[in-house]
Structure 1
Amino acid sequence: GLSPVEGAAHSVVTIRGEGFSTVPAENAVLIGSRACDVTASSGREIVCKVPYNSALSPLPLSLEVAGMGKALATEIVFSHRLAVHEMLPFPANGSLGGGTELLILGDGFSDSASDMSVLVGAAPCRVTFTNASMLHCQTGALPTNASSADLQVAVHVGYKTAECDASCSFSYSEALT
């Protein structure tokens, strides 16, 4: 089995089973097509660090033990967690006309701005930079007749929406216009 089945890049997962090598380097673990860095192992358990992978769908986990071949008979999958941990400035507010730069820190983001979208309420926030754990975006103007206070900031990678572990709200302010 695998625990946990969802997590962030560089988090630790534990694989339980039988027939593993007690020498960490003799256990080759892949999550998708990327190596999971094995940090500890016993005959029944392997601990490894999750690699960054921009794939959104659950990724298959495969394991090969040196001299033994594949060690897992069942299909095990791992999903990268998409989350927002912090948004700056805090509290987040800006001009009705847009143009406020937001820095959003989290996990599971894509390295490609074309994979990312951010909405402040209904207004797009133009992504100007992104990597696996950080993105910058520039707020758009407040749409006509839209509410201006405590708007939800939604971060999307493809079809997935990030979970918010912190405050993910933004307010447009006439005083800042």
Structure 2
Amino acid sequence: MYDAVADPYCYPGSTVLKNLLDLRDQVVLDRYEAEITSDRAREPFPEGKVSPALYCAFHRHLFQDVYAWAGEYRTVRIAKGGNPFCFPEHIAVQVQRLFADLEQQQFLRSLSIEAFAVKGAHFLSELNAIHPFREGNGRTQLAFFAFLAERAGHPLRRQGFDPAQMLAAMITSFSGDEIPLQSVIRDLVSK
């Protein structure tokens, strides 16, 4: 659960996010969200030029059945475990900067597996620190990174993917250590 202050995304007096089905029970909302985003993940994702707009389209694709604000940058400050993510007033600029850097790196194409793991881990780590959406950042990051990896010639293997290992590596990268995330990516790249 996120730490947030005066959160207009939540129902008054609760930490449950306002949603399209008006579900007020967190367990029920979590179950519905997991099911529907899993279904959406099996559908074709939006195509186009790798850009912040495409990244937002990925989030909208996954969460369109759950939240009215799917695909839109958050407008509140949030943190996890007391660690703040990018302040909302800086999200657009930081996402633009990150994607400009990705474009300058030719979207991670023509790299060895090792270089792809290093640069891919840095991209994911930075994207996670920005955390542009109120909810659904992790799922969107993974879906988009799989798309990016495919386009870069390093498709990810789905078998053997360990969500707990990925989460732990993402958390570690937030404090500046990208090595575990590099390892996870290296293991996921098809050989």
Q: TM-score, normalised by structure 1?
A: 0.27
Q: TM-score, normalised by structure 2?
A: 0.26
Larger Rg: 1
More helix by share: 2
More strand by share: 1
